[in-house]
C-alpha cells in the first residue's frame, strides 16, 4: 500500500497575523485527507454510516518544523499505521516544494454505534481485503495525558450551531481552536507552536457551555503548557491537551 497523497496551497484567508497557515486549518487538512483515504479504502463515512457507525478521533499528536506561508504549496501524505481490538491508527506527513518534511502527525481513532453511542471492536466492521498498514511516524502509540495540576480557568463559551459537525456534537477542531485562542495575541506573535497533543474524552452538544483551563509551563525553557476543556454544567472533562512553543 502506498500513502494517500493530496496537494494544498495556502490561501490568504487561511493565514494568521504572521502570514503563515493557521494551525487549526492544518488540522482540517489532516482530517480531510484522512477522510478521503478512508473512503478510498472502503472504510469511510459512506461505508460506516450505512451501518449506523461513525469514526471518532480519540488522540492526536502533531510535530511542527514550520507552518507554510501564504501562497506556498505543500504535499500531504497519510496512511493507516495499524489497528488493535478497539483502535485504528492513522499517520500524516507534510512536505514543502523542496520535499522537506515540515510537519508530522499521528492519530488514534475508534468507531462508535451512533444509536447506542458505544465503541465497536475493529473486527466487527473491518471489511476483507484492506491492505496492510504502513509504519508509524512515532516509535510508540500515544498515551493518556494527565490533568493539569494547577490549572486556572481562562474563559468559557456557549456551543453554537457553527461548532457542530455531521454527528451533531462539537467538531474536534473547534476544541483545538479554543486551546490556541487561550494564548494572548502578543504571545502568539512572538512564539511558534512546535508540538500539539490532545486526548478527546467526551462530547459537547448544542446548548452546552465549555470552560477552558490552562496550567503554568511544565518547563520554563521549553514553554510547555497543559490544557483542559470541560463542560460547565457538570465539570466533565471534554479533552486534555499539551502545547509546546518556541
What's the pLDDT at 7?
98
User: Is 106 inside any structural domain?
Assistant: yes
pLDDT digits 0-9 by tens, 62-106: 999 999 999 999 999 999 999 999 999 999 999 999 999 999 999
Question: What digits encode the pLDDT tens for the residues 158-208?
Answer: 999 999 998 889 999 999 999 999 999 999 999 999 999 999 999 999 999
Torsion from C-alpha of 4, 84, 61, 202, nearest 10 degrees: 120
pTM of the model: 0.95
Per-residue confidence (pLDDT) for residue 230, from 0 to 100? 96
- Answer whether residue 83 is part of any domain: yes
Q: 9 and 120, same structural domain?
A: yes
196 in a domain, yes or no?
A: yes
Q: Are residues 84 and 14 in the same domain?
A: yes
pLDDT digits (tens, 9 = 90+) for 215-232: 877 666 779 999 999 999
Q: In the block, which residue shows the cell 444509536? A: 115
Residue 212, beta-bridge partner list: 155, 229
Closest among 98, 93, 105, 204 to 156, alpha carbons compared: 204
- Residue 184 half-sphere exposure, CB side, CA atoms within 13 Å? 3
CATH number of the domain within which 106 lies: 3.10.129.10
Task: Check whether residue 44 and residue 115 sit in a common domain.
Answer: yes
Specify the long-range contacts of residues 222-227, CB closer than 8 Å, at least 24 apart: 222/246, 223/191, 226/145, 226/146, 226/147, 226/148, 226/149, 226/151, 227/148, 227/151, 227/179, 227/182
Query: Domain of 109?
Result: 4-124
- How do residues 129-159 score in pLDDT, each as one tens digit? 888 899 999 999 999 998 877 889 999 999 9
108 and 58 within one domain: yes
Residues 34, 102 within the same domain = yes
* DSSP one-letter string for 32-90: HHHHHHHHHTT-SHHHHHTTTEEEEEEEEEEEES-PPBTT-EEEEEEEEEEE-SS-EEE
Domain count of the fold of the chain:
2
**Contact status, residue 211 vs residue 182, Cβ threshold 8 Å:** no
Are the beta carbons of 119 and 57 closer than 8 angstroms?
Answer: no
The residues near 109 (Cβ < 8 Å, ≥ 6 apart) are: 55, 56, 57, 58, 87, 88, 89, 90
Specify whether 90 is located in the same domain as 186: no
- Residues 192 and 90 placed together within one structural domain of the fold: no
Tell me: do 105 and 199 sit in the same domain: no
Are 12 and 103 in a shared domain?
yes
Residue 111, pLDDT above cutoff 80: yes
Residues 219, 158, single domain; the answer is yes
Locus of grid cell 499539551: 242
Model confidence at 243: pLDDT above 70: yes
**Do 161 and 97 share a structural domain?**
no
pLDDT score for 220 = 66
- Contact present, 55 and 74 (Cβ < 8 Å): no
Determine the pLDDT at residue 218. 61
Shared-domain flag, residues 235 and 164: yes
Cα within 13 Å of Cα(90), Cβ side: 25
32 assigned to some structural domain: yes
**Domain annotation covers residue 145:** no
Amino acid at each position: 500500500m502506498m500513502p494517500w497523497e493530496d496537494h494544498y496551497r495556502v490561501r490568504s484567508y487561511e493565514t494568521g497575523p504572521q502570514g503563515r497557515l493557521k494551525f487549526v486549518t492544518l488540522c482540517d487538512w489532516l482530517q480531510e485527507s484522512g477522510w478521503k483515504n478512508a473512503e478510498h479504502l472502503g472504510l469511510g463515512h459512506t461505508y460506516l454510516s450505512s451501518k449506523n457507525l461513525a469514526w471518532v478521533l480519540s488522540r492526536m499528536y502533531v510535530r511542527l518544523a514550520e507552518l507554510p506561508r501564504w501562497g506556498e504549496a505543500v504535499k500531504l501524505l497519510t496512511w493507516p499505521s495499524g489497528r488493535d481490538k478497539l483502535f485504528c491508527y492513522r499517520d500524516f506527513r507534510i512536505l514543502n516544494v523542496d520535499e522537506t518534511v515540515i510537519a508530522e502527525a499521528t492519530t488514534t481513532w475508534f468507531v462508535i454505534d451512533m444509536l447506542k453511542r458505544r465503541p465497536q471492536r475493529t473486527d466487527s466492521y473491518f471489511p476483507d481485503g484492506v491492505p496492510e498498514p504502513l509504519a508509524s511516524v512515532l516509535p510508540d502509540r500515544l498515551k493518556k495525558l494527565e490533568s493539569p495540576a494547577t490549572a486556572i480557568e481562562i474563559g468559557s463559551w456557549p456551543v453554537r450551531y457553527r461548532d457542530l459537525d455531521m454527528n451533531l456534537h462539537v467538531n474536534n477542531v473547534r476544541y483545538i481552536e479554543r486551546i490556541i485562542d487561550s494564548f494572548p495575541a502578543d504571545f502568539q506573535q512572538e512564539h511558534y507552536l512546535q508540538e500539539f497533543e490532545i486526548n478527546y474524552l467526551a462530547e459537547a452538544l448544542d446548548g452546552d457551555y465549555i470552560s477552558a483551563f490552562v496550567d503554568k509551563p511544565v518547563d520554563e525553557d521549553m514553554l510547555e503548557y497543559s490544557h483542559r476543556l470541560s463542560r460547565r454544567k457538570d465539570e466533565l472533562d471534554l479533552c486534555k491537551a499539551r502545547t509546546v512553543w518556541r
